[in-house]
Structure 1
Amino acid sequence: MKTYQRLNNLFGWLAFAIATIVFILTLEPTASWWDCGEYISTAVKLQVGHPPGAPLFQMLGRFFSLFAGGDTSQMAYMVNLMSALSSSFTILFLFWSITMLARKVVASDNEFSTGRMLVIFGSGFIGAMAYTFSDSFWFSAVEGEVYAMSSFFTAIVFWAILKWELAADDAHSMRWLILISYLMGLSIGVHLLNLLAIPAIVYVYYYKKYKPTTRGFITAGVGSILLLSIIMYGIIPDIVNLFSKVELLFVNSFGLPFNTGTIFFTLVIAATVITGLLFTQYGDRYRVSFYIAGSLFLLFIFSGTNSGTSFFIRAIVVGGLVTLVYYTRQHRHVLNTVILSFAFLLMGYSSFLMLVIRANANTPINENAPTDAISLLSYLNREQYGDWPLFYGPYYNAPVTKRGDGNPVYMRNDKTGKYEVVDDRKGTVSEYDPSMCTIFPRMYSDQKPSHIKAYQSWGEVEGVPVKITKNDGKTETLVKPTFGENLRFFFNYQVGHMYLRYFMWNFVGRQNDVEGHGGITDGNWVSGIRMFDEPRLGSHDKYPAYRDKNAAHNEFYFLPLLLGLAGFFYHLKRNKHDTWVVSTLFLLTGMAIVVYLNQTPFQPRERDYAYAGSFYAFAIWIGLGVAAIASWLQKLTKNLTPAAGVAIVVSLSVPAIMVSEGWDDHDRSGKFAARDFATNYIKGCAPNAILFTNGDNDTFPLWYVQEVENVRTDVRVVNYMLAGGEWYIHQMGTKVYNSEPLPFTLTPAQYDKGQNDIVPVVDLNPKQIPVPLKDVINFIANDNNRRDFGSSQPLSYIPTKVIRIPVDTDAVKASGLVPVEMYGRILPYIDFTIKKNYLYKNDLMFLDMLATNDWKRPIYFASPSAMSAVFNVDQYCHLEGIVYKFLPVKASSDYIRGLGGVSTDSCYAALMKCNNWGRLEQPDVTIDRESFRNAQIPRQSYMRLATALISKGKKAEAIEVVNTCFKFFPGDRLGYDRYTLPFAELYFNAGDTTAAVKLSRDIARELMDDVIWFRSLANGPFANQFNSDTEENLMLMQNLILLARRNNQNTFADELERELTLVAGLK
C-alpha cells in the first residue's frame, strides 16, 4: 500500500510537471483578446471588473503580478502563469481522481500487483494527458482568464469528495466536507461553474452512506438539485439581498446611519453560527442563545418579501432549516457539520468584500461601482445584462400585452442620509400574450432580425396560425412556432451546434478556428476520416490548399472519443454507481449549461470554454479506457502485466496525436497582437485626447496598456456602450492618472440612475433652423423644461433634430487641433441631424461632452460607424493611423459612409511609425482568428491612406504604404480574399506593375481554387450552398481581368481569362 501511495504521488506530480512545462512553453506573454485585458488590469491593481465579478481571481492575480518585480511588461505574463499553474494543478487532481476511480474497479481488494498498478497509473496518466492537450482546456490554460482557475476548483472539489469516500468511516472524515464547502465558497469568487459539481458530490455521499434504492436515488438527485439551487439562487444572491433589505430597514425606517443594517445583520449571522456551534458542542447550555439568534436570522429572511413566490420559496427554506434543527437535536454532529459548512462557504464567498472595498476607493476601473449592499446585489444579479426565459416564456414574435412593474432601484443620498428611489421601474417588465408563449422556450429573442431568421432556419419553422387580440381590441393572426419546432431548434442549434460540436472539437478533431454558423466551411468538427467527414462537409478532393493551412485544423481520427467510450462502458460494467457520479458531473457541466444559457444564434464568439467541466469528466473515461483495453487483452494473454503495458503503449497514441495536432494553434508564446494593437490605438492620439471605443476588443486591451504598462495615461478611453450606465459617466467626470475629467455641463445628479435614461427628441423646429448644441444642453439641464410623456415622471427632452456646433477658427488653429493642410477647409460651424426619436444616456453624454468641450480637447473614435447611426459624426471624422479624429472639417472625396475621410499627412506619419503589429508577419506566430479579424482594421487604414496619396499624386509614398502593409500583414499569412483586391488596383495606379500582377495572380489563385471546390460539390447535397459565393468569385475574377486590361497587361489578362473560362465551365 505504501508503495502504491508513493508511486501515485510520484506519477501525479509527473503529470503536473509535464502539463506545467507545456503550458509555460505555450503561454501568451502579454494580454490577449476579449476579457483578458480587463481581468489582468483589475487583478494587477485590484479594481472592479464586470459583473458578477471574480474577486478571488483578482486577488491571486495581484499576488502573482508581484513576482514581475515591478516590470510592468511582465505583469500580464505572471497573471497568465497563474492560469497555467491552475491548469497544471487541475491535471494533478484529475490524475489522482482517475486513479481513485480506477483503483475501485481494478484493485477493490486493495491488493496492488505490478499489473494492477500499471493499469491504475496508466489510466491516470493517459486521462490526465488527454485533458492537458484538449482544445478548450489548453486554450484557457495559457491566458489570463477565469476559466483555468474555475477548472482547478472543479478538479479539487471532485478529488476531495473521492478522498472523503476513502476516509468516510474515520472519526474526522467530515472535515473533507467542510473543506469542500470552503472551496465552493472560494470558487464563487472565480466563476459559478464549479457549483455544478454539487450533484456529483451528493451522489458520492449517498452511495457511501446509504444502501442504494430507486427511491433513495431519486431523493438524492432531487436533494442535490435543491442544494445547488439554494446555493446558486439562495445563498449567493439572497445573503446580499438580506443585507440590502436590513440596510434599508435600519437607514430608511429607523433613521440610523448608513451601513448600520449591514453591520447588524453581519452580527446576526455571526451570532447564529457561533451559538449554533456552541449548542452542538455543549448542548442545552446554549440552546436558548442559538434559538434566539436563529429566530432573528429567520425573521430577517422573511423581511422584505415582495411577492407570493418569494415568500413561498423562503418559507420552504425556513421550513427545511427548522426541520434540520429538529432532526439533529439527537444528532448534533450533523448540525455541527452543516453549520460549519455554511460558515466556511460564507468565508470563501466573503472574497466579494474586496469588490465593495475597492469600489469605495473609486478605482479607475470600477464597473457598476458596487459600493454598498444594495448596489452589490444589482452587481451580483448582473442586472445590466437583463435576463432570459428558462421554463416558460414567449416565442420571438409574441406581442407584449402589458408592462408590469419591476423592483425599484435605490441609491444612497448623502444629503438626506437615506436610500432614495431613483428609478421606480414602473412599466419595465414585459408581459406577453399567453397564446404565443410556451413551456421550455428556446426561440425567444426578438433583439435582432438575424436571431429570428436563424430560429426559422435551425428550427425549420413553418408554424401554425394563431389569432390574438391586440390591446386596441382588434384581432391579428400570427404564425406561432410549434413545440416540436422549438425542440428542433434546441437539439439542432443549442445542443448540436453549441455543445456537441465543441465536444467533438476536443475528442475527434476541428476544422478551423473560423467562427461557424452552420455552414460547411467554418468551425465544424472533423475526424480526418473521409467516410465520416465528407457526407457532412463535402468532398475533400479539390479542397483549396490555403484553407488547409489553418493551424486549428486538427484531426484526431476519433481516437480520444473511442478510448473515452471504451472507458465509459467498462466503468458502467464494473461500477455503475461511480459511472453515474461521473455522468452527473458530465451532464451538469454540459447539457445543464446548454439548458440554462438558452443561447441565441450568432454569439459574438465561440463558447466552448463554458463546457470545460464536461470535457473534464469525459477525460476520466479516456483514462479508464486504458483499464478497459488492459481488461480485454488480459482475457487473451491471461497475464495482466503485459496486457497493461500494451494497453498503455496503445493508449499513448491519444495524447500523442492531440499534442502533435494541437501544438501549433495553442502555442501563443510569440503573440503580442492585442497589446501592440492597443498601443497603436493609444499612441495614435494627440495629448490629453478623448478616445471613444465600442466593443470588448477595442476597449479591454487599451485598458490593459494604460493600467498595467502605463502607456499614454493622458488619453481618456471612453467605451460608448458602458456610458449607458450612470456609474461610468460619473467616473468619466473624475481625473484618472494624467487624464483630466471629461467636460460636462449636466450635473452628476442629472446622470444618476433613473435620470435621463431616455431623452425624447421632439421636433419643435418646423423650419429646421440649427440650434446651438450648448443651448440644447442648457435646455436639458433646466429641470423646469421637463414634460410628461406618459411615463411615471416628467422627462427632459430635446426640442429639435438639427443642432449646430460653432467653431472658433482661430482657436482651433492655435491649439493645433486641425492639421495645417486642412486650414483652408475649416468650417465656421458644423451641423448635426439627430437620426432617432429618442436618445439614450450615452448619446446625451456624448452631446454634453461635445458642447462643453468646445473643441478644446481632441476627440477620436476607434470607429465612428456605430455612433454615426445616431449622429452624422462620420462626415467630420478623419483617419489618422487607425483612429478617426473629429474635426471641424468636412470629409472630402475620400469620405466613406460610416468611416469618414483621411487626414493624409497625419495618417501617413502615424502609420509609418507603427512598427509593431503583434509579430503577425513572423512564421513562428500562429494568427488566431481574433488577431486575423483585428488585422483587417490597419489593413483598411493602409489601403485608404494609399488611395488618398494616389489621389494627390504621391505615388511613391503610396507604394511605400502598401509595401509596409504587406510587410506587417503579408498575404501568405492572412490570405488573399476579396478585401485584398483593392491593393492590386493601388499597385497598378501607383505604377508598380510587377507587384500588381503578382498580387493579382495570388488573389486569382485563391478565388479559382474556391470555385473549383464549389463546383466539385455541384451534384451533391451542397449543390446550391455556394451559388452566391461562386458568382461573387467569378465576378471578382472578371474585375481582375478588367483591371489588368485597363493597365495594358493584356498578356496577363489573357492568362486570367483562360483560367476563368476553364473554371467557369466546370460542372
Structure 2
Amino acid sequence: MNQFKKYNLIAGWATFAFAAVVYLMTIEPTASLWDCSEFIATSYKLEVGHPPGAPLFMMISRLFAIFAPSPAHVAMMINSMSALASAATILFLFWSITHLARRSYHKSEEELTLPQITAIMGAGLVGSIAYTFTDTFWFSAVEGEVYALSSMFTALVFWAILKWENVADEPHANRWLILIAYLTGLAIGVHLLNLLIIPAIVFIYYFRKYPQITKWGIVKALAVSGAILIAALYIIIPGTIELGAFVDRIFVNGFGLPVNSGITFYAFALLAILGWGIWLTHKKGKVLANTIILCVTVILIGYGSYASVIIRSSVNPPMNSNGPTNPYGLLGLLNRDQYGARPLVKGNYYSSPAIAVTEKDTYYLSDDGKEYKKGSTVSGYEYAPGFEFFFPRMYSSKESDIAAYNNWVNDGKEIKGRKVPFRDEMVTVPTFAENLKFFFAYQLNFMYWRYFLWNFVGRQSDIQSTGEITDGNWLSGIKAIDQLFVGPQDNIPSEQAANKGRNTYYFLPFLLGIIGLVYQLNRDGKNFTVVMTMFIMTGVAIVVYLNSPPAEPRERDYVYAGSFYAFAIWIGFGVLSVFQATKRWFKKENVATAVIATAICATVPVILGAKNWDDHDRSGRYTARDFGLNYLTGLLPNAIIMNFGDNDTFPLWYAQEVEGYRKDVRVMNMSYLGGEWYIDQMKLKSNDSEPVPFTLPRNKYTYNNEFLIVNDLLKKPVPIKEAIDFVKSEDPRTKMSIGGKNADFLPAKQLIVPVNKENVLKSGIVKPEDADLIEDSIVVTIKKSTIDRGEMMLLDLLSNFDWKRPLYFTTPSGIDELGLRDYLQLDGFSYRLVPIKTVPQSSWESGRIDSEFLYDQLMNKYQYANIKDPKVYADYFVQTNFGAVQSRNLFARLAKQLVAEGDTTKAIEVLDRAIEEMPFNQIRHSYVQTIPLIEAYYMAGADEKGTAVLEDYAKILEEYIDYYFRFKGKQAGLVQTQLRTNISLLYELYTLAQKYNQTEEAGKIEKYFVDKGLMDA
C-alpha cells in the first residue's frame, strides 16, 4: 500500500470516528418533534408512513430498533442510526475531497510528495470536519428522520463514481456504475434527493471517457443527465407502478383473480425480461447495452423496497397512510396525491380566475375488495384562457399568502400588476417582473441563500423568520457589515443575546470555501464543473422545483444539505490554496508548511464546532415524548382525541405504537380525515381501541364526495341524526352542485345533539356531583356555507356516538366553525366535549375547569421535558409547542379557579410550579402565557411574586423598545410592527399593575413612557 492510500484510509476512518462521537453525544434521547415521531413509530412496527413513504429507511431503522433494550430506548437507537449514517457521510466526504484534491495536482498517488499528501489530508480533514459541524447537517444528524440516511446515500454515490474514475480503463470497471445504479434504486426508498446528483455523475463520466472537451459535448452531457432524471422521476418511479396497476386491474376485473396477483405476475415478468436482456447482450458482447440493462435492473431491485409498503398495508396496521393495499393505492402514495401539485413551467397566478374544477381518473377497490372501480378526484382548477403564465411563482390564492406576496414584492402595498380582461371585468395579475422579484427575493434569497449563509457566515437566532430583519437571518459577527442588513448590533436585547442559535463565524467558512472554489477552478476545471453542478442541482434547482409558497410551517434548510456538502468540498480545497501561499511565504515545500496551512484553516471547523455545539446538543431533551404522553394522560377509557397538526398527532402515535401507552385511545388526525382511506381506517379496530362509530356509507365520502353544502332550508334547528340520515339518503332532492361537481347538503345550519345523561355519567364524561349541570341537548351551529369531508365525518360521529365514548380536541380553534367551543372542559393539553355550557372568556381561554382533576394532571401526572435544566436546548419549536398548549396559562387558569374556590395557598403553589418547571430563561415570556400568570398571582394575594414576574417581563419589553428605536431609515420602517407590539404589551403590564394597585411598578412603567415620549402613543 502506497503512502497516500495508507494515510487516506487512516485519516478517513478517524473522521468517521470523530463525527460519530460528536453526533452520538448530541442525539435526542427520544423522539423529536415534526415527522421524527411518526418515522420512529412506523419504523418500529414497519407500518406505513406519510407520502411518498420511506420503506428502506423504515427497514434499516427497524434493524437498529431490534437492539433497543426496551421500547423506551427504541427512539434513541433509531436516532443513533441517523448519527452513524451522518458519520458515514463525513467519511465519504473526506475521501471525495482527497480524491479531487489529488486530481488537482495532476499526479498519480505514487508521484505525490509527502508534503503534498499532508496538505491533501489536511484538506480532507478541514472540509469534512467543517461540514460535520454545519448547522443544517448537524440538525438532521441527531434525529430519526430520512435526511441523514439520504445524505449518506448521496455521499456514497458521489464517492463511488470517483472510484470508478480511478479504474475506468480497467476490465470490469463498469461494476462501479452498476453499484451506483443499485444504490440509487435503494435511495429512492429513503428520499428522492439522491437523484439530483445524476448530472454530476454524467459529467464525471463524460470528462473521463472523452478527454477532448467541446461545447457540444457539454450540451450533450447535460441533455443525457436531464433525460436520466426525467426517466427516473417520471418513468421508472411512477411509470413502473402505473403499468403494474394496469396489469393488476386486468387480472382482477378481467380474470377474476385476487388483488395484487397482476402486479406480482408483472414484477416477475419484468425481471424475467430484463434478465433475458442481460443474458442476450452479454452473449453478443454488447457492453453498453448490457450495462444499461443491468443498471435499470438493479435500480428496480433497489426500488423494490416499496413492495414492503403493499405487504404491510394489507394487514391494516394502526398507522397506514393512504392505505396502499394495492398498486393504485401505492401509486397515489408515490405521487403524493393528498398534497396536491404546484405549477412549475406553466400555471396560474393567485388572481387567475378559475372557471372549472379539473378531475383525474383513478381506480379504487370495491367495498368487497374484489374488483377495481373507476372514480375521479379533484386535481385542481381550469383557468380562463390567457390566465396561465410561464414560470408562475405567485400561485397561492390564500388570503395570507396574497398578503405575503404584497410584502415581498411591494413592501406590504398591493401589487400593482397589470389588467387582463375577463368577461365583463378587468382582472389584475402580477407582471412577469413582479413574479421574478418574488422568485429572487423570497424563493431564491430568503429560502436558499439565507440558509446557505446560516451555514457558512452565521445565524442571527433560531427563531423562524417570515421576513423580519430582527430574527432568523444570517449574521456574521462583523458589526459594520451586519448592521447594514439586520440593524444595530450594539446593546441588543438580552433575550436575543442569550439565544443559543445566535452563531457568528465572521465569514471564515465562506471565505475559505470561496478561496477553495477559485483554486479548483484554476487548477482542475473539469472537476470544478462537477462540484459546481452538484452545488447548483442540490441548491438552486431545488428552489425552482419546490416553488415554495410565501409561508412555510417550518424552516426548509434541510432539503439543501447536498448543496452545502458541495461547498464543504471547496472549504477543503481552501487548505490547498493556503498551502500554496505558505510555500511562497517560506520559500519551501515541506511537511511543516502543509501542517501550518492545515492549522490555519482548522480555525474554520473549530469555530463552527464551538459556536454550534450548544444549539445542536439535544441530549437530555424529552419534549416530543413528554408532550405525547401528556396529551394521552388523563383521557377517559376508550376515548377519541381529535388532533389538527403534526406536533399534536405524531408524538401521540409514538407514545402508543412504541412505548405502548394508552392504546385504548383512538388518535384521529382531522387533517387526514379528509382522505377516504383514513375514514376507512377509523372504522376498524386499532390496538385496544374500538372502531370510530361512523355511519355514512363509503359512497358518501369516497372520491366524488369531498365536501358538504350547508343549505339552511329549514331555518330552524333540526336533530343531527335526522340531518345525517338526510345526507345518507339517495333522494335526488339532496343533490346540489358546487364548482361543477355534485354534492350532498345539510338542510340546516343548527343541529341538535341530544344528550344521553345515563351514558354521560357512566362513561365518566361528567362527574356525578356535576350531574345537575348536564343539559338535555347541545346545539351545533355551523358558521360556513360548505364543510369539508373531515367536518362532515365529525358531524356523523356526533350523530351516533350517544355519549358512550369521550371525545377530546387538542385545540378549540379546530372546531370554531362548528360552534362547539361552548361545550368544552379544559383537561390540560386537551379539551373534553361535555354537555355543560361554558361561554368562552377569550379566544385563548375556552372551557370549564374541574380544578381537582386539572390539579392532579398538572402537578402530579404531566412531565415537562426536563426543560428546567439550563443545559437542555429549548429551541424555537420547543418554545412554540409549549406555547401551543398554553403551558403556563394552564397553570394560571387552574390557579384562578382555585382562587375562586377559596384555596389561595394551592393557587400560589400551582403558579410557583409553573415557573419552576418552565423558567423564563428557558421558555420565554409571551403575552398569552405571562399576563395570566401575573394576574393569577395578584388574585391569589402573592403580590410580590406577581410583581417580580411583571418587572422581569417589563425589563425585556423595554430592552426591545429601546433597540427598535435605534433603527434608522428604511430599517426603522421594517421594525415598526414589532415596536408597536412591544409598546402595546408594556402598556398591558402598566394597566395590569394599576388594576391590582401596584402603584410603584405602574409608576416605573409610566416614567419609562414619559422619558421615551410614548404617553400619547
Under a length normalisation based on structure 2, what TM-score does the superposition of the two structures give?
Answer: 0.96
- Asked if structure 1 preserves the Cα contact closer than 8 Å seen for 2:39 and 2:144, the reply is yes
Superposed displacement of residue 1046, structure 1: 3.7
Secondary structure of 1:866 counterpart? helix
1:542 aligned onto 2:496 = no
Residues 423-470 of structure 1, C-alpha deviations (whole Å, 9 max, x = no match):
334x75422234333211111111x21111111221237434323233
**Residues 822, 568 of structure 1: CA spacing in aligned structure 2 closer, same or farther, 3 A cutoff?**
same
- Does the 8 A contact of 1:773 with 1:804 survive in 2? yes
Mark the CA change 1:1029 to 1:341 in structure 2 (over 3 Å): closer, same or farther.
Answer: closer
User: C-alpha displacement at 1:415, in angstroms?
Assistant: 4.5
User: Structure 1 residues 84 and 786, CA, compared in 2 at 3 Å: closer, same or farther?
Assistant: farther
Indicate if the aligned counterparts of 1:103 and 1:120 stay in contact, CA closer than 8 A: yes
> Which position in structure 2 is the counterpart of 1:729?
679
Deviations 1:507-531 (A, max 9, x none): 0000111111111111100000011
Q: Secondary structure at the match of 1:865?
A: helix
CA distance in 1: counterparts of 2:576 and 2:369, whole angstroms:
71
Give CA-to-partner distance per residue, 1:129-150, whole Å, 9 cap, x none.
0100000000000000000000
Are the counterparts in 2 of residues 881 and 908 from structure 1 also a CA contact under 8 Å?
Answer: no
User: 2:736·2:744 contact (CA, 8 Å) conserved in 1?
Assistant: no
- The equivalent of 1:647 in structure 2 is 597
Show the counterpart of 1:691: 641
In 1, the alpha carbon distance for the partners of 2:570 and 2:844 equals: 55
What per-residue deviation string (whole Å, max 9, x for no partner) do you get for residues 39-75 of structure 1?
0001010000001000000000000001113x00000
1:340 is paired with a residue whose SS is helix
Match of 1:939 in 2: 888
The aligned residue for residue 299 of structure 1 is none
Cα distance in 2, alignment partners of residues 80 and 905 from structure 1: 39
Tell me, what secondary structure is at the counterpart of 2:249?
helix
Q: CA deviation at 1:397?
A: 0.3
2:613 aligned residue: 663
Q: 3-state SS of the aligned residue for 1:609? A: helix
| 2:376 maps to which of 409, 421, 424 | 424
Relative to structure 1, the CA distance from residue 89 to residue 786 in structure 2 (aligned partners, 3 Å threshold; closer, same or farther) is: farther
Q: 1:1011 aligns to what?
A: 961
SS at match of 2:67: helix
Task: Give the one of 586, 590, 594 matched to 2:543.
Answer: 594
Which amino acid in the other structure matches residue 236 of structure 1?
I
**Which of residues 622, 626, 629 is equivalent to 1:676?**
626
Q: CA deviation at 1:564?
A: 0.3
CA distance in 1, matches of 2:855, 2:264: 60
Deviations along 1:545-580, one digit per CA (max 9) or x if unpaired, are 121111110000000000000000000000000000
Alignment partner, residue 106 of structure 1: 105
Are 2:33 and 1:80 equivalent residues in the alignment? Answer: no
Q: Structure 1 residue 606: deviation in Å?
A: 0.1
Alignment of 1:846-857 (within 5 A): 846-857=794-805
Q: Give the aligned partner of residue 138 of structure 2.
A: 138
Would you say the 8 A contact 1:106–1:120 is kept in 2?
no
What is the distance in 1 between the residues matched to 2:431 and 2:742? 43
Aligned-partner Cα distance in 2 for 1:933–1:134: 24
- Alpha-carbon distance between aligned partners in 2 of 1:993 and 1:975, rounded to the nearest angstrom: 21
Paired position in structure 2 for 1:376: 330
1-structure distance, mates of 2:874, 2:300: 44
Cα deviation digits, residues 237-257 of structure 1 (max 9, x gap):
100011112222343345555
Letter in 1 for 2:317: T
CA shift in 2, pair 1:416/1:502, >3 Å: closer
Query: Which has the higher mean CA deviation after the structures are superposed, 688-697 or 962-971?
Result: 962-971
Tell me the equivalent position of 1:1057: 1006
Q: Could you report, residue by residue, the CA deviation over 1:747-771 in whole angstroms, capped at 9, with x for unpaired residues?
A: 4x345522642222222213x1x22
1:149-178 CA distance string (max 9 Å, x none): 000000000000000000001101000000
| Cα offset, 1:785, TM superposition | 5.8
- Work out whether residues 712 and 749 of structure 2, in 8 Å CA contact, stay in contact via their aligned partners in 1: yes
**Cα distance in structure 2, aligned partners of 1:207 and 1:974:** 55
Deviation at 1:32, TM superposition (A): 0.3
Number of the residue aligned with 1:555: 504
SS of residue matched to 1:515 = coil
> What is the aligned partner in structure 1 of residue 183 from structure 2?
183
Residue 239 of structure 2 corresponds to residue 238 of structure 1: yes
Report the secondary structure of 1:46's partner residue: coil
Letter in 2 for 1:64: F
Q: How does 1:174-573 map to 2 (within 5 A)?
A: 174-210=174-210, 211-253=212-254, 255-283=256-284, 332-404=286-358, 406-413=359-366, 415=368, 417-421=370-374, 423-425=375-377, 429-446=380-397, 448-460=398-410, 462-470=415-423, 475-573=424-522
Rounded Cα–Cα distance in structure 1 between residues aligned with 2:218 and 2:635? 64
Distance 1:562 1:804, change over 3 A: same
Counterpart secondary structure, 1:68: coil
Q: Which amino acid is the alignment partner of residue 623 of structure 2?
A: A
SS of the residue corresponding to residue 177 of structure 1 reads helix
Q: Does 1:929 align with 2:883?
A: no
Q: What is the aligned partner in structure 2 of residue 801 from structure 1?
A: 749
8 Å Cα contact 2:888/2:933 also seen in 1: no
Structure 2: which amino acid aligns with 1:931?
A: V
Q: Structure 1 CA distance, aligned partners of 2:996 and 2:217?
A: 83
Contact 1:435 1:468 in 2 (8 A): no
8 Å contact from structure 1 (residues 8, 121) kept in 2? yes
Q: Assess if the C-alpha contact under 8 Å between 1:981 and 1:1003 holds in 2.
A: no
Task: Find the aligned partners of 1:911 and 1:479 in 2 and give their Cα distance.
Answer: 53
Report the Cα distance in structure 2 between the residues aligned to 1:604 and 1:809, rounded to whole angstroms. 42
Q: C-alpha root-mean-square deviation of aligned residues, in Å?
A: 1.9
CA distance in structure 1 between the aligned counterparts of 2:646 and 2:131, rounded to whole angstroms: 29
Deviates more, 1:975-984 or 1:892-901: 892-901
Distance in 2 of aligned mates of 1:167 and 1:451: 53
**Equivalent pair of 1:247/1:259 in contact (CA under 8 Å):** yes
Instruction: Assess if the C-alpha contact under 8 Å between 2:763 and 2:803 holds in 1.
Output: no
Contact map agreement 1:38 1:703 (CA 8 A) in 2: yes
Shift of 1:974: 1.9
Q: Is there any run of 5+ residues in structure 1 with no aligned partner, and where?
A: 284-330
Aligned to 1:1034: 983
Is contact 1:542–1:1012 with CA below 8 Å preserved after alignment? no
Are the equivalent residues in 2 in contact too, given 1:20–1:88 (CA < 8 A)?
yes
- Whether contact under 8 Å (1:785, 1:796) holds in the other structure is no
1:743 lines up with 2:693 in the alignment: yes
Q: Are the structure 2 counterparts of residues 373 and 814 from structure 1 closer, same or farther at C-alpha, using a change threshold of 3 Å?
A: closer
Bigger Cα displacement from structure 2, 857-866 vs 934-943: 934-943
Quote the Cα distance in structure 2 between the aligned partners of 1:263 and 1:238.
16
Check the 8 A contact 2:247/2:263 in 1, yes or no.
yes
Structure 2: how far apart are the matches of 1:725 and 1:670?
37
Q: 1:1051: how far off?
A: 3.0
Of the candidates 779, 791, 805, which is equivalent to residue 726 of structure 2?
779
Residues 111-130 of structure 1: pairs in structure 2 closer than 5 A: 111-130=111-130
TM-score by structure 1 length? 0.92
Deviations 1:399-435 (A, max 9, x none): 113444x3312112264842111x334x754222343
Partner of 2:772: 824
Counterparts of 1:65 and 1:876, CA distance in 2: 43
The equivalent position to 1:712 in structure 2, one of 640, 662, 686, is 662
Instruction: Note the 1:161-180 alignment, pairs <5 A.
Output: 161-180=161-180
2:897 counterpart residue number: 948
Task: State the Cα deviation string for residues 290-328 of structure 1 (Å, max 9, x = none).
Answer: xxxxxxxxxxxxxxxxxxxxxxxxxxxxxxxxxxxxxxx
Task: Report the residue type matching 2:291 in the other structure.
Answer: T
Q: For the Cα contact (< 8 Å) 1:803–1:832, is it kept in 2?
A: yes
SS at match of 1:1023: helix
Structure 2: gaps (5+ residues): none
Tell me whether 563-572 or 536-545 shows the greater mean CA deviation: 536-545
